[in-house]
Amino acid sequence: MTLLALWLPILLTAVGVFFASSLIHMVFKWHNSEYRPLPNDEDVRQALAPIKNEPGMYATPHCPDMKDMQTEAVQQKFRDGPVALITVRKPGAPTMGRYLLQWFALNLSVAALGGLLALQTMGLYANPHYAGHFIGLFTMIVYACGSIQESIWMGRPWSATFKNILDSLIYGVVSALVFWQFWPITN
């Protein structure tokens, strides 16, 4: 039993998920409403200018030690707001080619891991329907869980998370159908 026997469904699944994602983001565009402009965008950009060459994650108010959370001064900052988690990227136009390559690599990795997991648990000549179902569920869980964690800990709106879960369901269906059709069968 080797993962090489699954190279075709792994590759086709990665391509299928990539294509589905492209439709979601470029045709249906249901994620566009998740990003709103700041009412004073230029002022915020100028305030962030000193860190523009230091990409990373920032928080305001910043509380490096949880013991400090008990102080009245820090609690007041949180009450007064704004409370924000900010990701700062390197200056320059987004390089979509790089992002899309990374996204495809993730799609390929998820398909390969799903195939490997199904291979190890069911065997190479398992019923294709069951293998596809198994991999579809695995795919949905992998893509969906990160968004849920973002809503719990990072304040991501739940509406955005539910859209990502819908995306994940679509990716799971695509994965299930591809593996169901191309899973090796005995002669």
Note whether residue 72 is domain-resident.
no
Convert the pLDDT of each residue in 50-75 to its tens digit: 998 899 999 999 998 999 999 999 99
DSSP E strands in 25-164: the ranges are 56-60, 84-88
Q: How far is Cα 108 from Cα 100, in angstroms, rounded to an integer?
A: 12
| pTM above threshold 0.85 | yes
Q: Is 45 helix (H, G, I), strand (E, B) or coil?
A: helix
Note whether residue 15 is domain-resident.
yes
pLDDT at 55: 93
pLDDT at 52: 87
Tokens of 145: 């869980």
Non-local (6+) Cβ contacts of 145 within 8 A are none
pLDDT at 165: 98
CA 154 vs CA 57, 76, 82, 146, 151: distances in Å? 11, 20, 14, 11, 6
Note whether residue 56 is domain-resident.
no
Number of domains in the chain: 1
Note whether residue 76 is domain-resident.
no
Amino acid identity, position 123: G
Taking the CA of residue 141 as centre, how many other CA atoms within 13 Å lie in the half-sphere pointing to its CB? Answer: 8
Least Cα distance to 179 among 141, 130, 144 occurs for 130
| Domain span holding position 132 | 3-36+95-182
Note whether residue 82 is domain-resident.
no
Give φ, ψ of 124 to 5 degrees. Answer: -65, -35
Average pLDDT estimate for 28-39: 94
Average pLDDT estimate for 132-152: 97
Least Cα distance to 114 among 185, 163, 174 occurs for 174
Note whether residue 187 is domain-resident.
no
Note whether residue 25 is domain-resident.
yes
pLDDT of 126 > 80? The answer is yes
Note whether residue 48 is domain-resident.
no
